[in-house]
Chains A and B, each alone.
Chain A
Amino acid sequence: MNNRIRELRGERGWSQGDLADKLDVSRQTINAIETGKYDPSLPLAFRIARLLRLPIESIFQPEKD
């Protein structure tokens, strides 16, 4: 799954640590999501969308076949 978290985080001037604190996860988890090494669970994806005030499908997109 592809995501725009790094870009959206950058627009808001947040560090990985800031975003991790806001979502109550570790900085390594944010790094793993941003680099595409880990796909978050649905509850975490919804928390990210709520925090960024964007629809979930504008943050996460399935990979093209």
Chain B
Amino acid sequence: MKPISKTQYELRVLAASAVYVVLVIALLPQARHAASPATHLACALVPVLPMLYIVWLIARRVWSSDELEQRTHLIGLGAAAAIAGSFSLITGFLAAGKALSPEVPGVLLIWIFPLMMGSYGLAQKWAQRRYGASFCDDSEGLPKAIGFGLLALMFAGMALWAYWHVADEFSTGLFAGLSLGFALAAAMFAWRRRNRNRHEGE
């Protein structure tokens, strides 16, 4: 498997995530009202493709990692499996006991993968920190300010799209809030980077 640099990996994950969000917003409502079974199935399953691409990117990244990175990946994936497994088990029991409305379990299933990816990322960062890495280290991969800035732009676009096309207040508010959060994180990392560069210059 050809090694992939951290910057390439991060840019591709960001692009695939943007495509995923667009497909979920654009196609999932269509799937509910599709006339033919084929269209129904296609609209429901096409959003899965960018996520499968991300899984493949993660596999390439883990494969080309060195021994310490593989250890932190293992810790991250172990924590992610435990958290997502517990979440699906609890949801499954609640659904089996009819404690949730019939539509909820299907929607919750969609959130298992993002939950798994989120907990994988956080647990891996925690493990890296234990081995002396800094979360603000920009020496490898995409600078954090740029990464978070791109995420902020992506969610701002989603918020505008939801506002004009879906007219759903919850989606618009969620995407706008996420965009603002990522923009603040980008600003913080840009400020830290500027301060560090200034100190190094003195």
Contact = CB atoms under 8 A, between A and B. Distances in A.
Contacts of A26: 65-66, 68-69, 140
Contacts of B140: 26-28
A44 B67 contact: yes
A31 to B, nearest CB: 5
Contact of B130 (A17, A31, A37): A37
Nearest to B139: A27
A41 interface: yes
A25 B128 CA distance: 15
Secondary structure class of chain B's binding surface, majority of residues: loop
Contact of A32 (B132, B137, B139): B132
B116 to A, nearest CB: 24
B132 A37 contact: yes
Given A32-B131, A37-B130, A38-B131, A25 B139 contact: no
B89 interface: no
A12 B140 CA distance: 23
Interface in B101-130: 128, 130
Which residue of A17, A24, A29 has the most chain B CB atoms within 10 A of its CB atom?
A: A29
B156 to A, nearest CB: 32
A35 interface: yes
Contacts of B130: 37
A44 B66 CA distance: 10
Contacts of B139: 17, 27
A24 B130 CA distance: 22
27 contacts: A17-B139, A24-B66, A25-B68, A26-B65, A26-B68, A26-B69, A26-B140, A27-B139, A28-B68, A28-B69, A28-B128, A28-B131, A28-B132, A28-B137, A29-B66, A29-B67, A29-B68, A29-B69, A31-B132, A32-B68, A32-B132, A35-B132, A37-B131, A37-B132, A38-B68, A38-B132, A40-B67
Interface of B: 65-69, 128, 130-133, 137, 139-140
Given A28-B128, A28-B131, A37-B131, 16 more contacts: A25-B68, A26-B65, A26-B68, A26-B69, A27-B139, A28-B68, A28-B133, A29-B67, A29-B68, A31-B132, A35-B132, A37-B130, A38-B131, A40-B67, A41-B67, A44-B67
